[in-house]
């Protein structure tokens, strides 16, 4: 029988299903206890200490009761679940051993018994900040890679527009596009974010969409000859303006539509006929379908990181107590770069 090693376990709990925009008060902190031993008979599991947690916009979909959503809703009263970087304390799974570092789904708590670690990735290269595996080297990085290279089929010299461009995904899409030799412009919601795009991530240009009265005119200013590739993160009026400014045979990777997630009545897009006249390919995608490319992605991105050719800005929130505010902040643009919650340093 497994001996008992009881520890306190701080957790972030979903208190109620979210209606409208998420609030910090939809979540609460709770301290429960956990036996830091894998229970007898619990095969193929790992018990982990969580180090870094990732705040992601899709989590909102799991905090609401949405019919037909591609993920299950979180259980009320239970710790929320998300991507994180964790250290294995004990394992009954043949692929993992004590001391391994992994990234994948885990609980929003200090310690988690992961009963199905088959979707987790073992971290082999520790020569980079570990927190990168919540973003650049994790789900956000794979999203940028798959969305840009697989969905957009970019070519050297093409013009690329990215919305929510300074965030976890957008900052990488822009850097990948520059590596491809594209002309890249991003939109973001503050002057500081625009400065980051131009001065840190090497975008050719950038603008603050909150200061533009007419997105159509703004896009015409930055793309007088039109847009070949749009990496869509926001939806709504921006998508409509982009369609007006796309070039013939352009591609649109529909990654997200964050401006629509909290609206009771999502806005309509009234010029979809541009898809026909300009022969545009507009394709939605989910990163989940592309994880088989993870080794190829690491092979491409790691040398660039180590040579300083790809950089990554993270927004670190300290402690599980700060997790609800950090998650809610994604929907008002409070985060600058990838929003991470630091649970423990090691």
Ligand X SMILES: NC(=O)c1ccc[n+]([C@@H]2O[C@H](COP(=O)([O-])OP(=O)(O)OC[C@H]3O[C@@H](n4cnc5c(N)ncnc54)[C@H](OP(=O)(O)O)[C@@H]3O)[C@@H](O)[C@H]2O)c1
The residues of the shown chain that bind ligand X, judged by CB under 6 A, are 56-58, 140, 143, 164, 166-170, 188-190, 193, 233-234, 255-259, 285-287, 330-331, 333, 335, 338
Q: Smallest distance, Å, CB 263 to ligand X?
A: 9
Q: Is the Cβ–Cβ distance between 96 and 117 less than 8 Å?
A: yes
- Which residue blocks in 5-163 are alpha helix, DSSP H? 59-62, 139-145
Beta-bridged to residue 185, according to DSSP, are 161, 205
Beta strands in 197-245 (DSSP E): 205-208, 227-232
Nearest approach in angstroms of CB 138 to ligand X is: 10
- We find the least distance from the C-beta atom of residue 147 to ligand X, in angstroms, to be 7
186: closest CA among 169, 214, 207, 201?
207
| Least distance to ligand X, CB of residue 301, Å | 16
Residues 6+ apart with CB under 8 A from 309: 179
C-alpha separations of 185 from 193, 196, 222, 323 in Å = 13, 12, 7, 31
Closest CB to ligand X among residues 117, 256: 256
Two structure tokens written together for 273: 């006929």
Output the smallest distance, CB 50 to ligand X, in A.
19
The gap from C-alpha 161 to its chain's centroid, in whole angstroms, comes to 18
Closer Cβ to ligand X, 93 or 193, answer by number:
193
d(CA 228, CA 236): 19
Residue closer to ligand X (CB basis): 115 or 260: 260
**Nearest residue (CB) to ligand X, 27 versus 34:** 27
Cα–Cα distance between 29 and 293 in angstroms, integer?
37
- Nearest residue (CB) to ligand X, 46 versus 313: 313
| Distance in Å, CB of 287 to ligand X, minimum | 4
Rounded to the nearest whole angstrom, what is the least distance from the CB of residue 329 to ligand X in the complex? 8
Closest CA to 152 of 173, 132, 166: 173
Q: Which is nearer to ligand X, 151 or 320 (CB)?
A: 151
Nearest Cα residue to 147 out of 177, 185, 126: 177
Residue closer to ligand X, measured from CB, 74 or 96? 74
Instruction: Report which DSSP code applies to 149.
Output: I
């Amino acid at each position: 029988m497994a001996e008992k090693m009881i520890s306190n376990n701080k957790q972030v709990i979903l208190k109620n299903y979210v209606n409208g925009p998420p609030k910090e008060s939809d979540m609460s902190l709770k301290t429960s206890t956990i036996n830091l031993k894998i229970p007898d008979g619990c095969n193929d599991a790992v018990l982990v200490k969580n180090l870094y947690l990732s705040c992601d916009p899709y989590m909102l979909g799991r905090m609401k009761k949405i019919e037909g959503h591609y993920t299950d809703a979180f259980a009320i009263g239970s710790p929320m679940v998300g991507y994180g970087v964790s250290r294995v304390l004990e394992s009954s799974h043949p692929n993992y051993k004590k001391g391994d570092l992994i990234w994948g789904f885990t609980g929003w708590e200090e310690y988690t018994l992961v009963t199905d670690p088959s979707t987790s990735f073992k971290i082999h290269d520790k020569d980079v900040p570990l927190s990168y595996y919540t973003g650049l080297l994790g789900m956000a990085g794979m999203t940028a890679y798959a969305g840009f290279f697989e969905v957009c089929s970019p070519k050297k010299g093409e013009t690329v527009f990215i919305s929510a461009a300074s965030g976890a995904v957008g900052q990488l899409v822009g850097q990948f596009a520059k590596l491809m030799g594209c002309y890249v412009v991003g939109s973001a919601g503050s002057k500081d974010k625009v400065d980051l795009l131009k001065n840190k991530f090497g975008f050719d240009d950038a603008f603050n969409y909150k200061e533009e009265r007419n997105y159509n005119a703004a896009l015409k200013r930055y793309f007088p000859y039109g847009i070949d590739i749009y990496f869509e993160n926001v939806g709504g009026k921006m998508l409509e303006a982009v369609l007006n400014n796309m070039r013939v045979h352009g591609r649109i990777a529909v990654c997200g539509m964050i401006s629509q997630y909290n609206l009771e009545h999502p806005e309509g897009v009234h010029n979809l006929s541009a898809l026909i006249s300009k022969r545009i390919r507009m394709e939605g995608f989910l990163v989940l379908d592309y994880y088989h490319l993870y080794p190829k992605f690491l092979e491409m991105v790691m040398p660039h990181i180590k040579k300083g050719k790809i950089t990554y800005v993270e927004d670190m929130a300290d402690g599980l107590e700060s997790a609800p505010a950090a998650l809610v902040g994604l929907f008002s643009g409070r985060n600058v770069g990838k929003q991470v919650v630091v649970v423990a340093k090691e």
